[in-house]
Structure 1
Amino acid sequence: MVERRLPVATHWGSYVAVVDSGRLVRIEPSVDDPAPSPIGPGMVTAADDAARVLRPAVRRGWLEGLPRVHDTARGTDVFVEVSWDEALTLVSGELRRVRAEYGNSAVFGGSYGWASAGVFHNPQNQLQRFLALGGGYTDSRNTYSTAALEVILPHVIGGAPWSYQSRMPMWDEIAENCDLVVAFGGLALKNSQINPGGLARHRTEGLQRKCREAGVRFVNVSPIRSDTAGFLDAEWLPVVPNTDTALMLGIAHTMLVNDWHDQDFLDRCCVGFDRFASYLTGTSDGVVKDADWAAGITGIDRESITDLARRLATQRSLIMVNYAIQRADHGEQPIWMSVVLAAMAGSMGRAGCGWGAGYATMDATGVAPGRPAVASVPRVSNPVPDFIPVARIADTLLHPGQSIDYDGRRLTLPELRLIYWCGGNPFHHHQDLHRLTRAWQVPDTVVVHEAWWNTTAKFADIVLPVATSLERDDFAAGFSDPHLTAMPKVREPAGGSRTDHHIFAALAARLGYEQQFTQSRSEFEWIRHLYEQTRAGLGDEAALPDFDDFWHSPSGVALPALSGPFPGSFETLRANPQAFPLTTPSGRIEIFSEEIDSFGYDDCAGHPAWFEPAEWLHAEASDRFPLHLISNQPASRLHSQYDNGGHSLSSKINGREPVTINPLDAVSRGIDNGMIVRVHNDRGSCLAGAILSDDVMPGVIQLSTGAWWDPAQPGQSGTLDHHGNPNTLTADRPCSRLSQGPSAHSALVDVEPYDGPVPQVLAFTPPPLEH
């Protein structure tokens, strides 16, 4: 046996692929990685599993022009395998027809999702370039992960939506300067396995340990105890889900009435505190937001709230807010309120202290403030101005022509006739999958690029098989990760798979703009060109090797570190707000926003406020559905990626996604460890495998996202999901008129033992295929 060892870069880390005679034998962690993710080795089992899409396939009902009902509906139909020539002819012809009959805005460029690592083979860039050159498309805006945060923060602290990443303290600064970290939503290490675009080595765990060894104390404000690592010895405050804003208000009121707040910083560096203070004290609405009020909402007692207020104000403190708490009804409020609380506490703009968001949600966050620019496939301006908020896809399909609010604008939802999806899985990340299924029947055509027969592929009309990241050349450059890593092809593409670029180039040739799309470069010439562009842009200071040397370097190359202060720095704001203003209308932190107030939204006022969620443990609906569902990110995969991989499969209970239930809730329902249970509400139901643990507080269950949806009767509303996808249960409801973001974490359910015959999981089984 002659083994070859090749570098592999993924969203969850760098590995070494061991290949024998073209066959992938195993994937090993990189010796340079101090905390490798176990997801990587599990990729081997998925590379050639039965779910691979091996040839282009067309839904029989679509091919024959049959109506999209009953046995020919998307999600239930037989697929006919066709040649690449026929598939490309069908796709190019349908693009021509839809554009000619309905205009370019009728084409939706649905490339949303993490896809796979690699600078050149970025599906979103490839699809959007292809569609823009062809006349344009309707785009989406923001992300499912952080939509509320992306919209509210530019109003409050200025800058681009993601600029806060370089403006908050890094872990090494926290270790050196901070005494107390209060983490709203926790700091789950499982999330720091990942980094979009690639990751050379995992550093978050080591940096967190360094903070604890330096004496930093941590407080975990979350319904889940393990949202902080055990070695942090964190104090756990099990808060009622969706009530973080109320808790912060109670802390803020306590600071105010005890004169513990930083009035100097509020006067010099913020605007609108007086109007917010009127809300805190009840002058404006008659409700005093004191610790007793907050205790009645959050489940955190008055003494703990008072003590936390005192510690935040008297110690060098950092308020962290995680992304999960803004994926809820009124998700903008805890983000806005966390900034206000940090401004009041006295540590805002001091080294290693103040405020930050998203720590441990990706390995890069808090590890490095950013990296130098890396060249990417050139973008083409989209001739179509229309866009939709990303989480409003089902609304758009069901209600074309309807107007909605978005960040001070009125948007008219376009009529979408063709959906082109590449590099994502809407049947993973969208809420209320039964509603999405109804909406998905509306357009004329759905085209999907996929490597596996996941749910999105099964609900398409035309499925084009694509190569995985193991089956193509590229190089990786992760978000804020200061490394470039070569990604040579490990194996040949399975079956008739082709790269996304190859497919779009062939379609562009049929549509008359191949040269514009490819710029007459081969894929490998593009990869070389992008690397050399990056090298030239960095200049002599970086001293990167030439491409050939880089390509044969197993450990990649390091980029120069960026240093601050960065635009919008809170440290420079504190030092001199006149000389270093923010890009907000006032130049300061907007505790009260005149602009947001002028929008007149009844669900997002001019200052942070408490709005009761539609679904939470004190809602009327809790009489029927008394458990709050937390559908957080999984530890065993990235979102839905490699749910068919070995590591994710090994986490299942009798083939189902595990659901964690507090023993007090389990015993009252007759549920034992390992039992198959039915989780349900009025939107749907799913099966899951029970894990009993006091890791979750009573009244809460935890069911991670990403199990490939496996409906018993696709297309039938409310049908049972056999596999444990929580978006069977979540509500497709915007968190507010401001951001139109998703509110997945505002969902009530109940759980019961499943008494019937346990059905087979068919999530990883291809649909019926004809040749």
Structure 2
Amino acid sequence: MKAVPVDEKLIPTSCIHNCSGRCFLHAHVKDGVLVRLSPGEQGPEAPDCPQTKACLRGLAQRHWLEHPDRLRYPLKRIGPRGEGRFARISWEEALTVIAAEMQRIKTTYGNSAIYLNYGTGVYGQISDAYVTGDGQGALPRFLNMFGGYLRYYNSYSAACYTVAAPYTYGTVEGQSPADLPNAKLIVLFADNPAETRMGGANTPYYLSLARDKGAKIIVIDPRYSDTAASLADEWIPVKPTTDNALIAALAYVLMAEQLVDQSFLDRYCLGYDEEHMPAGIPAGNSFKSYILGLGEDKTAKTPAWAEAVTGVPQADIVRLAREIGLTKPCALLQGLGWQRHAYGEQPVRALPVLAAMTGNIGIKGGGPGLRPGGHKLLMGWMPAGTNAVAAQIPCFTWTEAIVNGKQMTADQGVRGVDCLGTNIKLIWNYASNTLINQHADINATARILADEKQCEFIVVHDLFMTPSAKFADIVMPDVSHFEREDIVTFSSGIAYAIYHQKVSEPKFECRSIYDICSCLADRLGFGPEYTEGKSEQDWLREFVKVAQSHDGEFPAFEEFRRQGIYKQQPDKPVIAYEQQIREPGAAPFATPSGKIELFSPRLWALKTPEIPAVPQYIPAWEGPEDPLRKRYPLQCIGYHSKRRVHSTFENIALLEAVEPHALWLNPADASLRQLAAGDKARVFNDRGELIITVRVTPRIMPGVVAIPQGAWWTPDAGGIDQRGSINTLTKYRPTPLAFGNPQHTNLVEVAKL
């Protein structure tokens, strides 16, 4: 047990951020003030149930809680929208204005004109900001009781992944990370867990165990990431947007050198070769025909062909294919980076083909070529009830729904109705910087939001005056999770729940989302129905009862609250699709054919060249083959900096000191532009321009530059961003199937300032 000064109180708490890890922390409180955070004690380390250890971001949260720039009072806009000029108002005025505007929008346009914007700044069973499908929590409960709201589906992080993978498997299932030590070879495609999933019981821990046990680890990424540097035996750089060409060439070598598990393909798969195609499909449309050049494009996907496209030497392609084909079990893991591209659906479906060709699906140490999965803990949520608005839009297309909502149909991804029927007129933006900072083409987005005749009212509830908050009509100061109580759950191979107690009283005039919704419900006539007379802790007691009903070992409420964390001890790792492989007749895949659909009849029926029935390489707009490269010769990708969680913690000086915000530029590209490390550079294209410090490094391949995403957009009087926010440069063009975020697909030029 850690030594604690007698005048300090130790309080269980956590992180609640979107970093793929919820970590257990102890708050050290003296005289009601948080003085420091330390890793919460969870007993001895165990390989199958490791401790959820916080990273530097989690341990630095005191600087976030006590930041002098925290919002203190409700604010009302007094200048043009977007200028960021506000006046302090009372809570009485703020709530009166919000209630009146909600009522006006509902009466004038209907509830489908009210949109809850996508955001992931808060996770919790009461206060969750990420609300998809029939999402639960305080805010959707309030909006549903008001008559409903326009919902979104998908995420900015994984739209292509969640939509495309089911076309292959019917479901999306991943192997437990705890199974990785059973692999002999692990190949990570566009996956960087050492920076994106640092804390918690996460993948890097299991990768290190696998390496210690003798597994070889290969990372394929345009950037020599921390994962490649700290965990991998080999780094293979590849041009952004060309991963499908690399996979196609790997498949070609497997075919040519007879390294294919044909019996597995014959038994479990649809569409690998012409002998296993659905009835009525013309010859030449199988995956094998595409690879061998027997299909429509008449191009064999040889290593020489792929080298010209991807920049990966053909000798490396042949060697990698042989390693994958001859080493079993082999775990092929995909990250989310490659699916945030112009045709991001394609690599999501392509990597599982390699897993099938090598017979690695459903076995220990192998996997389906998807992302890691694992056990899940079921916990209660604040019930939201029923949303009377049937319509849903892809979360990435909300700006289009402001401008052209009346015309949006299924062709633009609308679900639940034939036509959206109205434009978005009111946006509630809670714990989200997606209103501006995290959305594509910031300058175009700002022009849309600045027009008060389009979206007529915007309310923002946050801790800081973010770039998004500057576009609000009313700003409400939020409490941090240290100033309220909630439960967060997570699964990263093991399943666990953390109870974070209130560490300190709310600062200034800050209020929680449950408090605000309760007050507004009173004004709008359904206060008693909304709260049911329950405090936040009353609700949490009910949520724990749900968890206890699913898990007989889950502790009593007071014990759970006192100890702060409960972890389920897994009996064994999850092996994705193990039952389907073991009992194909009794447990078919959840696809229409019951098989792994390497050829998708559902996609074939769409008759859309950008959505082929077998995964293919499609040259990307603003990719390496786009003629626009003559003007903007560098491919620009964003990556997740370990000093931020998206844009959260951007304003923490301590974390900036640990990893300064900078552009990654290869020495060859720097020399051509007479740039040196530490120089200020202009990065620009037709959509915008930003200023950023240069980091010259061989850790990025030539022809590619990388900007850490999440920096707060800070335009000068001429509209040039002075902080280096990558979305100044990114393009709004949803992907063809998932209508997802393609924000890693950009061509730019870099010049010395």
Q: TM-score, normalised by structure 2?
A: 0.90
Identity percentage over the alignment?
30
Query: What is residue 400 of structure 1 aligned with on the other side?
Result: 405
Query: Among 29, 36, 57, which residue is 1:19 paired with?
Result: 29
Query: What is residue 443 of structure 1 aligned with on the other side?
Result: 455
State the distance in 2 between where 1:651 and 1:529 align. 42
State the distance in 2 between where 1:558 and 1:220 align. 31
State the distance in 1 between where 2:604 and 2:513 align. 45
Q: Which shows bigger deviation, 608-617 or 178-187?
A: 178-187
Q: Give the 3-state SS of the residue equivalent to 2:605 in structure 1.
A: helix
State the distance in 1 between where 2:65 and 2:202 align. 28
* Residue-by-residue CA offset, 1:341-370 (whole Å, 9 max, x unaligned): 211123222211133434xxxxxx45xx12
Q: Give the 3-state SS of the residue equivalent to 1:421 in structure 2.
A: strand
State the distance in 2 between where 1:638 and 1:685 align. 24
State the distance in 2 between where 1:579 and 1:535 align. 32
Query: Among 46, 55, 61, which residue is 1:37 paired with?
Result: 55
Query: What residue identity is the alignment partner of 2:234?
Result: E
Query: What is residue 723 of structure 1 aligned with on the other side?
Result: 723
Query: What is residue 620 of structure 1 aligned with on the other side?
Result: 627
* Residue-by-residue CA offset, 1:371-427 (whole Å, 9 max, x unaligned): 231111113121101111111111111222233526797964541111111122112
Query: What is residue 154 of structure 2 aligned with on the other side?
Result: 142
For residues 243 and 229 of structure 1, do their structure 2 counterparts lie closer, same or farther at Cα, with a shift above 3 Å needed? closer
Query: Among 274, 287, 290, which residue is 1:276 paired with?
Result: 287
State the distance in 2 between where 1:451 and 1:635 align. 21
Contact 2:189-2:220 within 8 A present in 1 as well: yes
Q: Give the 3-state SS of the residue equivalent to 2:709 in structure 1.
A: coil
Query: What is residue 267 of structure 1 aligned with on the other side?
Result: 266
Query: What is residue 598 of structure 2 aligned with on the other side?
Result: 591
Query: What is residue 185 of structure 1 aligned with on the other side?
Result: 190
Instruction: Give the Å deviation of 1:592.
Output: 0.9
Instruction: Give the Å deviation of 1:679.
Output: 1.4
| 1:122 aligns to 2:128 (yes or no) | yes
For residues 394 and 281 of structure 1, do their structure 2 counterparts lie closer, same or farther at Cα, with a shift above 3 Å needed? same
Instruction: Give the Å deviation of 1:45.
Output: 2.2
- Counting only pairs closer than 5 Å after superposition, residues 194-343 of structure 1 correspond to structure 2 as 201-274=200-273, 275-285=286-296, 286-316=298-328, 317-343=330-356
Query: Among 139, 143, 151, which residue is 2:163 paired with?
Result: 151
State the distance in 2 between where 1:454 and 1:258 align. 55
For residues 179 and 652 of structure 1, do their structure 2 counterparts lie closer, same or farther at Cα, with a shift above 3 Å needed? closer
Instruction: Give the Å deviation of 1:88.
Output: 0.7
State the distance in 1 between where 2:350 and 2:419 align. 31
Query: What residue identity is the alignment partner of 2:128?
Result: N
Q: Give the 3-state SS of the residue equivalent to 1:561 in structure 2.
A: coil
Query: What is residue 522 of structure 2 aligned with on the other side?
Result: 509
Unaligned runs of 5+ in 1: 61-71, 195-200, 359-364, 755-771
Q: Give the 3-state SS of the residue equivalent to 1:528 in structure 2.
A: helix
Unaligned runs of 5+ in 2: 1-5, 43-50, 132-136, 274-285
State the distance in 2 between where 1:572 and 1:8 align. 38
Query: What residue identity is the alignment partner of 1:121?
Result: S
Q: Give the 3-state SS of the residue equivalent to 1:635 in structure 2.
A: coil
State the distance in 1 between where 2:263 and 2:226 align. 34
State the distance in 1 between where 2:558 and 2:220 align. 50
* Residue-by-residue CA offset, 1:68-118 (whole Å, 9 max, x unaligned): xxxx431115212111111111111111111011111011122x2222243
Contact 1:636-1:647 within 8 A present in 2 as well: no
Query: What is residue 64 of structure 1 aligned with on the other side?
Result: none
Contact 1:147-1:741 within 8 A present in 2 as well: yes
Query: What is residue 617 of structure 2 aligned with on the other side?
Result: 610
Contact 2:167-2:591 within 8 A present in 1 as well: yes
Query: What is residue 558 of structure 1 aligned with on the other side?
Result: 567
- Counting only pairs closer than 5 Å after superposition, residues 660-671 of structure 1 correspond to structure 2 as 660-671=664-675
Query: Among 133, 136, 140, which residue is 2:145 paired with?
Result: 133
Instruction: Give the Å deviation of 1:614.
Output: 0.3
Contact 1:372-1:562 within 8 A present in 2 as well: no
For residues 188 and 372 of structure 1, do their structure 2 counterparts lie closer, same or farther at Cα, with a shift above 3 Å needed? closer
* Residue-by-residue CA offset, 1:475-508 (whole Å, 9 max, x unaligned): 2322455233221111111210011000001001
State the distance in 1 between where 2:225 and 2:659 align. 19
* Residue-by-residue CA offset, 1:559-593 (whole Å, 9 max, x unaligned): 35366767xx4333333322210110000111111
Contact 2:690-2:723 within 8 A present in 1 as well: yes
Instruction: Give the Å deviation of 1:35.
Output: 5.1
Instruction: Give the Å deviation of 1:227.
Output: 5.0
Query: What is residue 278 of structure 2 aligned with on the other side?
Result: none
State the distance in 2 between where 1:305 and 1:41 align. 42
Query: What is residue 768 of structure 1 aligned with on the other side?
Result: none
State the distance in 2 between where 1:674 and 1:14 align. 37
Query: What residue identity is the alignment partner of 1:314?
Result: L
Contact 1:108-1:139 within 8 A present in 2 as well: yes
For residues 538 and 391 of structure 1, do their structure 2 counterparts lie closer, same or farther at Cα, with a shift above 3 Å needed? same
Query: What residue identity is the alignment partner of 1:402?
Result: Q
| 1:58 aligns to 2:76 (yes or no) | yes
For residues 408 and 22 of structure 1, do their structure 2 counterparts lie closer, same or farther at Cα, with a shift above 3 Å needed? closer
The number of equivalent residue pairs is 707
For residues 646 and 490 of structure 1, do their structure 2 counterparts lie closer, same or farther at Cα, with a shift above 3 Å needed? farther
For residues 247 and 292 of structure 1, do their structure 2 counterparts lie closer, same or farther at Cα, with a shift above 3 Å needed? same
Instruction: Give the Å deviation of 1:726.
Output: 0.5
Q: Give the 3-state SS of the residue equivalent to 1:720 in structure 2.
A: coil
Q: Give the 3-state SS of the residue equivalent to 1:691 in structure 2.
A: strand
Query: Among 696, 713, 718, which residue is 1:709 paired with?
Result: 713
Q: Give the 3-state SS of the residue equivalent to 2:376 in structure 1.
A: coil
State the distance in 2 between where 1:75 and 1:311 align. 54
State the distance in 2 between where 1:463 and 1:675 align. 37
Which stretches of structure 1, 4 residues or longer, exceed 4 Å deviation after superposition?
A: 31-35, 406-411, 562-566
| 1:423 aligns to 2:431 (yes or no) | yes
- Counting only pairs closer than 5 Å after superposition, residues 653-664 of structure 1 correspond to structure 2 as 653=660, 657-664=661-668
For residues 236 and 269 of structure 1, do their structure 2 counterparts lie closer, same or farther at Cα, with a shift above 3 Å needed? same
Q: Give the 3-state SS of the residue equivalent to 1:504 in structure 2.
A: helix
Query: Among 538, 560, 568, which residue is 1:525 paired with?
Result: 538
State the distance in 1 between where 2:40 and 2:479 align. 23
Query: Among 499, 502, 505, which residue is 1:492 paired with?
Result: 505
* Residue-by-residue CA offset, 1:599-648 (whole Å, 9 max, x unaligned): 12221111111111001233211122111112011110211112122443
Query: Among 88, 91, 96, which residue is 2:103 paired with?
Result: 96
Contact 1:220-1:227 within 8 A present in 2 as well: no
Instruction: Give the Å deviation of 1:231.
Output: 4.2
* Residue-by-residue CA offset, 1:39-61 (whole Å, 9 max, x unaligned): 1232222323332111111112x
Contact 1:313-1:346 within 8 A present in 2 as well: no
Q: Give the 3-state SS of the residue equivalent to 2:368 in structure 1.
A: strand
Contact 1:265-1:574 within 8 A present in 2 as well: no
Contact 2:378-2:546 within 8 A present in 1 as well: no
Contact 2:114-2:426 within 8 A present in 1 as well: yes
* Residue-by-residue CA offset, 1:199-218 (whole Å, 9 max, x unaligned): xx444333211101111111
For residues 228 and 549 of structure 1, do their structure 2 counterparts lie closer, same or farther at Cα, with a shift above 3 Å needed? closer
Contact 1:276-1:592 within 8 A present in 2 as well: yes
Instruction: Give the Å deviation of 1:474.
Output: 1.8
Contact 2:691-2:721 within 8 A present in 1 as well: yes
For residues 193 and 268 of structure 1, do their structure 2 counterparts lie closer, same or farther at Cα, with a shift above 3 Å needed? same
State the distance in 1 between where 2:232 and 2:464 align. 42
State the distance in 2 between where 1:558 and 1:289 align. 47
Contact 2:249-2:303 within 8 A present in 1 as well: yes
Contact 1:29-1:40 within 8 A present in 2 as well: no
State the distance in 2 between where 1:562 and 1:593 align. 35
Query: Among 65, 73, 77, which residue is 1:47 paired with?
Result: 65
State the distance in 1 between where 2:412 and 2:600 align. 16
* Residue-by-residue CA offset, 1:186-230 (whole Å, 9 max, x unaligned): 334011125xxxxxx444333211101111111211111225243
State the distance in 2 between where 1:343 and 1:259 align. 14
Q: Give the 3-state SS of the residue equivalent to 1:120 in structure 2.
A: coil
Contact 2:173-2:577 within 8 A present in 1 as well: no
Query: What residue identity is the alignment partner of 1:679?
Result: V
* Residue-by-residue CA offset, 1:263-321 (whole Å, 9 max, x unaligned): 11111111111222121122222111121111110111222212222221121122111
State the distance in 2 between where 1:348 and 1:486 align. 37
